[in-house]
Amino acid sequence: MSAQTVHIKSFGCQMNKLDTALVGAALKEAGFGFTDSVKEADVVLINTCSVREHAEERVFSHLGHLKHIKESRPDMLVGVIGCMAQRLGGELLARDEVDIVCGPAQIPQITGLITKTLQEKKKTLAVTEKIRQAAPENPALEEFESVYDSNDAQVPAQAYVRVMRGCDKFCTYCVVPYVRGPEVSRPPEAVIGQIKRLAGEGVKQVTLLGQRVNSYKYNTCGKTYCLADLLYMASEIEGIEWIRFVTSYPAEECYDEILRAMAELPKVCNHLHLPAQSGSDKILKAMNRNYTASKYLELLDKARDTVPGIAIAGDFIVGFAGETEKDFQKTVSLVEKARYKNCFIFKYSPRPGTTADKRLQDTVSIEVKKRRNTELLAVQERISDELSKRFLGKEVKILVEGLSKKPHLNSAKGGKKPDLCSKNGDLRPQLVGRTETDWIVVFNGPESLAGEFAEVKITRTRPLTLFGELARKD
Ligand code: SF4
């Protein structure tokens, strides 16, 4: 068994990245090796995402590629894990190239599932039958989370820590409640214990993860712990310097406490990801989002009043069922007022099994969705550009992530030469890091800075990226 090599490909959100890291750690402990090459792997795992149609299409395309490889290497085992596995179950297993289908709740069992499938040479299906009725406590999950800590190998000194799973919100377009099950929060002592161990291993920044992280709630010893309590407790851990949390739902519950913790605790990064999805009350209602555009803006005002300098990121869906031009203009207006640092904008595509898919007609044509997407991106780009220019000439503290994956160009209009050397002939590699407020910073410096804090003087900006020169290492 120890000679078996695994290739893992991950699609989707940070939650999936964390699952991939956990699976990798579990397989490593069980004696598996790893390879970057699909062609050399004995086992190929695909961690999937069902949130958008496009993400599923990419998985199917990848499976087609694997089918081709499997024709010449029939012993190669292919496992599909995560949200698509839960959503499609037996349908995926029926494909010639797929040997294992494993839902998010069964991921802690992945090592055993692979071993069993290899030994018995039979296909294996492991998904939750009635996911909304799954037990509120999952002992296997607790054990898995606490045994296998997860440094994201690609980003030194940083780690994700899941504080809860699932979602009870049922936004009408979203598949998450059907594939990830009900909300389950981890006990605070398990979360804090994990962060302490990570700090002991050199982790400096933790990101607390939850589908609706601000709804974290755990009753124990006569007290109800909320996310703010976790932030206070995590702040006391020596070695941890920055704490982030994603993703928040725009709700008042626990909001004041969380903002107060952000304002009071220097270690908690002043960055809030608060998806709005639409600026039209009619569309928000159709999405079952439980707030109005003005209520949402009030939440932003409160965040800015309580936490000066806070940077806010948003999410929007354009072209949702029934979205008229007037509705869309209300979204544009909300983006103008919100002054986000950045926004994630998606074109609506109905997800099978969701309420919107079953009850609402997908009325907006793809051409109109594309046009609204481009228009909204342009509005946000202008705002991001204005905000980024405020950094010119200033020094910012960043946590260095490592080598920049894509070479950034010298000219804001897209010069030809990658920025691999600066004007003064600096031949050091191009590195990337992030500020506390989540601005991406690109600069030249030694690769050894990865995982370290540094100060960078900003000399040039683009809407989503700041460029600068290394001022000093902290
Ligand atoms: S809050 Fe809504 S969009 Fe977010 S995971 Fe839950 S159902 Fe999906």
Answer yes or no: is 133 within a domain: no
Which structure tokens are listed for 343?
Answer: 């926004």
Q: Are residues 200 and 283 in the same domain?
A: yes
431 contacts 442 by C-beta, under 8 angstroms: yes
> Is the domain of 107 the same as that of 228?
no
**Whether residue 246 has its Cβ less than 6 Å from ligand 1:** no
**CA-167 nearest atom, ligand 1:** 6
Atom of ligand 1 nearest to the CA of 288: 2
- Spans of the chain, pLDDT less than 50: 1-2, 146-153, 409-424
Q: What is the domain extent for residue 419? A: 395-473
The reply to whether 164 and 192 lie within a common domain is yes
Q: Are 241 and 451 in contact (CB under 8 A)?
A: no
Cα–Cα distance measured from residue 342 to residue 293, given in angstroms and rounded to the nearest whole number: 18
Closest CA relative to residue 104, chosen from 136, 85, 82: 82
| 336 domain residue, yes or no | yes
Let me know whether 311 and 408 are in one domain. Answer: no
The alpha carbon of 242 and the centre of ligand 1 are apart by a number of angstroms equal to: 26
**Ligand 1 centre distance from Cα of residue 178 (Å):** 10
> Mean pLDDT across the chain, nearest whole number?
90
One domain for residues 51 and 166: no
Question: 169 CB less than 6 Å from ligand 1?
Answer: yes
Query: How many structural domains comprise the chain?
Result: 3
Compute φ and ψ for 344, nearest 5 degrees: -100, 125
Tell me the CA–centroid distance for residue 170 and ligand 1, in Å: 6
pLDDT of 412 reads 36
Is the minimum distance from the CB of 240 to ligand 1 under 6 angstroms? no
Classify residue 456: in a domain, yes or no: yes
Of the three residues 69, 95, 127, the one that is the final residue of a domain is 127
Predicted local distance difference test score (pLDDT) of residue 425: 56
Please count the other Cβ atoms lying within 10 Å of the Cβ belonging to residue 339. Answer: 16
pLDDT value at residue 134: 62
Cα 176 to averaged position of ligand 1 atoms, centre (Å): 6
Q: Quick one: which atom of ligand 1 is closest to the CA of 211?
A: 5
| Ligand 1 atom closest to Cα of residue 174 | 8
Q: Are 142 and 125 in contact (CB under 8 A)?
A: no
Domain co-membership, 379 together with 454:
no
Residue that finishes a domain, picked among 127, 151, 180: 127
Instruction: Return the residue matching tokens 């992280």.
Output: 213
245: its two tokens: 């949390």
Same domain, yes or no, for 196 and 260?
Answer: yes
Kindly give the distance from the C-alpha atom of residue 231 to the centroid of ligand 1, in angstroms, as a whole number. 22
CATH of the domain at 425: 2.40.50.140
- Is there an atom of ligand 1 within 6 Å of 276 CB? no
Task: From 208, 173, 91, select the one nearest 355 (Cα to Cα).
Answer: 173
Q: For the chain, what percent of residues have pLDDT higher than 70?
A: 90
Distance (Å, whole) CA 199 – CA 193: 10
For residues 180 and 286, state if they share a domain: yes
Residue 177 lies in a domain: yes
Q: What is the pTM of this model?
A: 0.88
Query: Is the link from the previous residue into 247 a cis peptide, with omega within 30 of 0?
Result: yes
Q: Is 132 part of any domain?
A: no
Q: Tell me the CATH number at 29.
A: 3.40.50.12160
Nearest atom in ligand 1 to 249's CA: 1
Task: Identify whether residues 98 and 197 lie together within a single domain.
Answer: no
- Tell how far the Cα of 44 is from the centroid of ligand 1, in angstroms: 29
Is 242 a domain residue? yes
Q: Is residue 212 in contact with ligand 1, taking CB distance under 6 Å?
A: yes
- Domain check: are 405 and 273 in the same one? no
CATH number for the domain spanning 377: value is: 3.80.30.20
- Do residues 469 and 410 both lie within one domain? yes
Distance 87 CA to ligand 1 centre (A): 16
CA of 172 to the centre of ligand 1 (A): 9
Q: Cβ(18)–Cβ(209) under 8 Å?
A: yes
Sheet holding 33-34, edge to edge: 33-34, 5-10, 43-48, 77-82, 100-102, 124-126
Q: Does 337 lie in the same domain as 429? A: no
Given 367, 389, 411, which residue is the final one in a domain? 389
CA-nearest residue, atom 2 of ligand 1: 171
**Residue among 15, 170, 171 to mutate when testing ligand 1 (max atoms within 8 A of CB):** 171
183 in a structural domain? yes
| Among protein residues, the one whose CA lies closest to atom 8 of ligand 1 | 174
**Side-chain half-sphere of 244: how many Cα atoms within 13 Å?**
23
Q: Is 174 touching ligand 1 by the criterion CB < 6 Å?
A: yes
Pocket probe for ligand 1: among 16, 50, 162, 167, the residue whose CB has the most ligand atoms within 8 Å is: 167
What's the distance, CA 102 to chain centroid? 20
Token representation of residue 13: 């959100």
Give domain status of residue 134, yes or no. Answer: no
Distance of CA 314 from the midpoint of ligand 1 (Å)? 14
Interatomic CA distance for residues 360 and 355, integer angstroms: 8
